[in-house]
Amino acid sequence: MTSWIKSSCRKGAHAEATRAANCRRNGRSYIAFNGSAISCLTSFRYYSRFCCKKKLAGRSSALIMRASQRRSRSMWIFAVNEQAGSGRGKIIWKLVEAELQRRSLPYLAVITASAETACEEVHSLLARSRSGIQSQSQGQSLAGSNQSPSNVRAVTVIGGDGTVHSILPALQGSGVPLGLIPSGSGNDTARAFGIPKQPLAALERVLQGETVAVDLIILGGNNSGNVQPQKPVLTALAVGFDAAIASAVNRSSYKKLCNRLGVGSLAYVIALFHMLLIYRPRQMTVTIDGTQHVYNRGWMAAICNVPAYGGGLRICPEASPSDGVLDICIVHTCTPLQLLRLFPTLLTGKHVRLPFVTMLRGRRVSVSAESMEGAAPISAFGDGEPACDVPLEVEAASNRLFLVR
Tell me if 273 sits within 8 A of 279, measured CB to CB.
Answer: no
Q: What is d(CA 70, CA 369) in angstroms, rounded to the nearest whole number?
A: 54
Q: What is d(CA 336, CA 272) in angstroms, rounded to the nearest whole number?
A: 11
Phi, psi of 127 (to 5 degrees): -60, -45
3-state secondary structure of 114: coil
| Residues 99 and 191 reside in one and the same domain | yes
In the chain, the number of structural domains is 2
Q: Which of 215, 249, 283 is the last residue of a domain?
A: 215
In this structure, what CATH number is given to the domain that contains residue 137?
3.40.50.10330
Look at residues 340, 343, 360, 363 and name the one whose alpha carbon lies nearest to residue 351: 343
93, part of any domain: yes
In this structure, what CATH number is given to the domain that contains residue 247?
2.60.200.40
Q: What is the pLDDT along the chain (405 residues), one digit of tens a residue?
A: 333 333 333 344 444 455 555 555 555 555 665 554 444 443 333 333 333 333 333 322 222 223 433 444 688 999 999 888 888 999 999 999 999 999 999 999 999 876 677 888 898 888 887 765 544 444 443 333 344 446 899 999 999 999 999 999 999 999 999 999 999 888 999 999 999 999 999 999 999 999 999 999 999 855 445 556 789 999 999 999 999 998 988 888 887 787 777 777 788 888 889 999 999 999 999 999 999 999 999 999 999 999 999 888 899 999 999 999 999 999 999 999 999 999 899 999 999 999 999 999 999 999 999 988 878 889 999 999 999 999 999 999 999 999 999
Exposed e or buried b per residue across 333-351, where buried means at least 16 C-beta atoms within 10 angstroms of its C-beta? ebeeeebeebeebbeebeb
Residue 228 DSSP label: P
Q: Residue type for 174, please?
A: S
The answer to whether the predicted template modeling score (pTM) of the entire model surpasses 0.95 is no
Q: Which of 183, 215, 247 is the last residue of a domain?
A: 215
404, part of any domain: no
| Residues 175 and 246 reside in one and the same domain | no
How much is the pLDDT for 339? 94
| Residues 145 and 107 reside in one and the same domain | yes
55, part of any domain: yes
Distance linking the first and last C-alpha atoms of the chain = 40
Q: What is d(CA 126, CA 174) in angstroms, rounded to the nearest whole number?
A: 9
Q: Which of 184, 199, 215 is the last residue of a domain?
A: 215
| Residues 326 and 308 reside in one and the same domain | yes
127, part of any domain: yes
| Residues 341 and 229 reside in one and the same domain | yes
| Residues 190 and 223 reside in one and the same domain | no
| Residues 171 and 270 reside in one and the same domain | no
| Residues 383 and 308 reside in one and the same domain | yes
98, part of any domain: yes
Domain span holding position 81: 2-215
Segments in 12-151 forming alpha helices (H): 13-25, 41-52, 59-71, 84-102, 118-137
- List, in order, residues 6 or more apart from 28 with CB less than 8 Å away: 39, 40, 113
Q: What is d(CA 206, CA 157) in angstroms, rounded to the nearest whole number?
A: 10
CA 317, 386, 21, 120 dihedral sign is positive
405, part of any domain: no
Using N-to-C axis directions, what is the helix angle for 2-11 and 13-25, rounded to 10°?
A: 130
Using N-to-C axis directions, what is the helix angle for 264-278 and 241-251, rounded to 10°?
A: 120
| Residues 173 and 264 reside in one and the same domain | no
| Residues 157 and 120 reside in one and the same domain | yes
Q: What is d(CA 94, CA 78) in angstroms, rounded to the nearest whole number?
A: 12
Tell me if 400 sits within 8 A of 174, measured CB to CB.
Answer: no
Q: Residue type for 229, please?
A: P
How much is the pLDDT for 311? 81
329, part of any domain: yes
Half-sphere exposure of 327 (CA within 13 A, CB side): 21
| Residues 254 and 376 reside in one and the same domain | yes
205, part of any domain: yes
Burial class (CB in 10 A: 0-12, 13-18, 19+), 123: middle
| Residues 139 and 248 reside in one and the same domain | no
Question: Which residues are bridge partners to 346 per DSSP?
Answer: none
Look at residues 97, 19, 41, 104 and name the one whose alpha carbon lies nearest to residue 69: 104
Residue 118 DSSP label: H
Tell me if 361 sits within 8 A of 327, measured CB to CB.
Answer: yes
